């Protein structure tokens, strides 16, 4: 697990004596992040030049594609919602020191269970709004259960959550494909375009002629706020961080560690499942094979990019959504693939992590130099996957 995660996220000491240094440090950090941003754009520009496209025009096209019309802006917001949910979710697992790679599959399972409930209830006399609510709850439960599965594998099976999550992602995708081409196929022939669309009244209400639903937007924003409060203002969040930074010490200090690990998985899975539910009820109105659209992985990237600080989720997710929507134009206008947004997003994450890594190195050197007392640099405490009740070796 990366060093930067362990060291990041804690505000420096802000006592009266250190306040001046603190603000200077903030400026330096901000400058470094800006530096990373510039480097990412430079890197992407080089790629564009190699591909024979004028970088400036490409960026202009992306900006135009994301903000030219009201429809563009609303589409950006539509893409913003699942990113908000996924990124907020992975922040919870990151806090507990877990790499929930399985977030992608959790979105799929959320979508599958939402679809299931909609299919079961669409012909009943229940009020459509009630059906939607039930379907969304089913989606939340689906995502949470899929995440809990990864958690159980980790806690009781000793399967690293990265491998467990990766495996479960494949299973989730396979499950969705099987449903689309099997039991839930359209009358006649199953197709990549997904299941039979649901009637309009089983979709979230949208604004005017746009695809944007204020309900889903609201849910996304509320989720981010809730996660922020959870991590920064509650004892639950503090315990999650303690588990993430030193599982053994947290256990000895009285935190039920594996339970908190599971809690992190379940909270993240619930948010991912909600994202899946929103994709079904608010965007596609059916289950499609690529229902998660990579939002889970993008959420992980956002989590890393913002160095696990919840305040930054909303703006960075918006930026990523704008890149995604903006680059849809590129193939038509510049004969470039729309995956250019992915290149830029990936480059951003890499450069931010690189700059952060360099900063941590510098800080650690300064810290090691500053500690004249006995003792080695802070130990790397990777408690690793495993039994919740493992006892340490008897004095080595």
Partner 1 sequence: MEVRLSDIRKHFGPVKANDGITLTVPAGTIQGILGENGAGKSTLMKILSGFQPADGGRILLDGQKVVMRSPADAIRHGVGMLHQDPMDFPPMRVVDNLLIGAPGRLIPRRSEAMAAIGELAGSLGLSIDLKAEVGSLTLGERQQLELLRLLWLGARVLILDEPTTGISAHQRQELFDTLRRLAAQDKTVLFVSHKLEEVQELCTRVAVLRQGRLVGEALPPFRVDRLVTMMFEREVSPGERAECSSGPPLLRLSNLGAEHGRIRFDGLDLEVCAGETIGLAGMEGSGQSLLLQACSGLAPAIAGRVRLSGVDLTGKSYHHFQKRGVAYVPATRLEEGLVPGLSLTEHFLLTDRKPGFFINREKGRRVAEERISEFNIKGAPANPVESLSGGNQQRALLALVRPDAKLMLLEQPTRGLDVESVIYLWSKLKERCARGEAIIFTSSDLDELLRYSDRILVFFAGRVSGPIDAAGTTVDELGQMIGGGSIDIVAAASAGDPEAAHV
Task: Please report, as ranges, the residues that interact with partner 1 according to CB under 8 A.
Answer: 6-7, 9-11, 13-15, 17-18, 233-239, 241-242, 245-246, 248-256, 367-376, 378-379, 381, 389, 391-396
Closest separation in Å from C-beta 149 to partner 1? 25
| Both tokens assigned to 195 | 């299941």
The Cα 276–Cα 109 span in angstroms is 7
Closest separation in Å from C-beta 386 to partner 1? 15
Closest separation in Å from C-beta 312 to partner 1? 19
Q: Which residue has the tokens 């530096």?
A: 35
Closest separation in Å from C-beta 222 to partner 1? 18
Inter-residue contact 117 to 284 (CB < 8 Å):
no
Query: Residue 218 to residues 78, 87, 225: CA-CA distances in angstroms?
Result: 11, 16, 11
Closest separation in Å from C-beta 98 to partner 1? 16
The Cα 257–Cα 138 span in angstroms is 28
Rounding to the nearest 10 degrees, give the CA dihedral for residues 310, 316, 320, 323. Answer: 170
Closest CB to partner 1 among residues 8, 318: 8
Closest separation in Å from C-beta 380 to partner 1? 10
Taking residue 296's Cβ as centre, other Cβ atoms within 10 Å add up to: 32
Phi, psi dihedral angles at 32 (to 5 degrees): -65, -40
Closest CB to partner 1 among residues 239, 286: 239
The Cα 129–Cα 203 span in angstroms is 9
DSSP-derived secondary structure letter, 61: H
Closest separation in Å from C-beta 392 to partner 1? 7
Closest CB to partner 1 among residues 248, 335: 248
Closest CB to partner 1 among residues 13, 49: 13
* DSSP letter string, 143-182: HHHHHHHHHHHHHHH---HHHHHHHHHHHHHHHHHHHHHT
Closest CB to partner 1 among residues 339, 371: 371
Closest separation in Å from C-beta 26 to partner 1? 15
Closest separation in Å from C-beta 28 to partner 1? 17
| Both tokens assigned to 184 | 């839930």
Closest CB to partner 1 among residues 165, 237: 237
Closest CB to partner 1 among residues 233, 361: 233
Inter-residue contact 202 to 211 (CB < 8 Å):
no
* DSSP letter string, 51-74: TT--HHHHHHHHHHHHHSSHHHHH
Closest CB to partner 1 among residues 196, 382: 382
| Both tokens assigned to 244 | 């993430």
Closest separation in Å from C-beta 378 to partner 1? 5
Inter-residue contact 200 to 122 (CB < 8 Å):
no
Inter-residue contact 97 to 245 (CB < 8 Å):
yes
Closest CB to partner 1 among residues 9, 65: 9
Q: Which residue has the tokens 């949208």?
A: 206
Closest CB to partner 1 among residues 50, 396: 396
């Amino acid at each position: 697990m990366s060093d930067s995660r362990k060291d990041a996220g804690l505000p420096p000491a802000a006592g009266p004596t250190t306040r001046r240094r603190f603000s200077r440090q903030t400026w330096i950090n901000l400058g470094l992040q800006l530096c990373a941003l510039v480097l990412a754009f430079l890197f992407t520009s080089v790629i564009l030049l190699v591909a024979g496209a004028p970088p400036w025009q490409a960026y202009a096209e992306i900006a135009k594609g994301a903000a030219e019309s009201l429809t563009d802006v609303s589409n950006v917001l539509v893409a913003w919602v699942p990113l908000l949910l996924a990124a907020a979710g992975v922040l919870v697992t990151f806090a507990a020191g877990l790499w929930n790679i399985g977030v992608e599959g959790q979105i799929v399972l959320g979508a599958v269970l939402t679809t299931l409930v909609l299919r079961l209830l669409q012909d009943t006399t229940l009020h459509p709004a009630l059906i939607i609510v039930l379907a969304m709850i089913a989606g939340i439960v689906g995502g949470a259960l899929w995440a809990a599965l990864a958690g159980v594998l980790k806690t009781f099976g000793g399967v690293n959550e990265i491998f467990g999550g990766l495996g479960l992602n494949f299973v989730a995708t396979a499950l969705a494909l099987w449903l689309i081409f099997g039991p839930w196929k359209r009358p006649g022939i199953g197709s990549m375009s997904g299941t039979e669309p649901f009637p309009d009244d089983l979709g979230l209400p949208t604004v005017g002629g746009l695809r944007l639903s204020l309900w889903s937007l609201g849910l996304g924003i509320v989720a981010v706020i809730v996660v922020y409060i959870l991590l920064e203002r509650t004892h639950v969040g503090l315990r999650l961080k303690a588990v993430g930074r030193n599982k053994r010490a947290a256990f000895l200090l009285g935190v039920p560690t594996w339970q908190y690990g599971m809690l992190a998985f379940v909270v993240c899975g619930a948010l991912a499942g909600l994202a899946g539910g929103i994709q079904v009820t608010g965007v596609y109105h059916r289950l499609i094979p690529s229902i998660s659209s990579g939002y889970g992985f993008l959420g992980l990237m956002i989590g890393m990019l913002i160095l696990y600080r919840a305040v930054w989720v909303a703006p960075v997710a918006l930026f990523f959504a704008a890149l995604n929507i903006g680059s849809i134009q590129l193939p038509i206008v510049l004969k470039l693939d729309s995956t250019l947004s992915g290149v830029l997003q990936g480059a951003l994450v890499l450069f931010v992590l690189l700059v952060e890594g360099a900063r941590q190195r510098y800080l650690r050197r300064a810290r090691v130099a500053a500690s004249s007392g006995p003792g080695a640099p802070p130990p790397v405490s990777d408690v690793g996957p495993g039994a919740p009740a493992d006892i340490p070796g008897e004095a080595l």
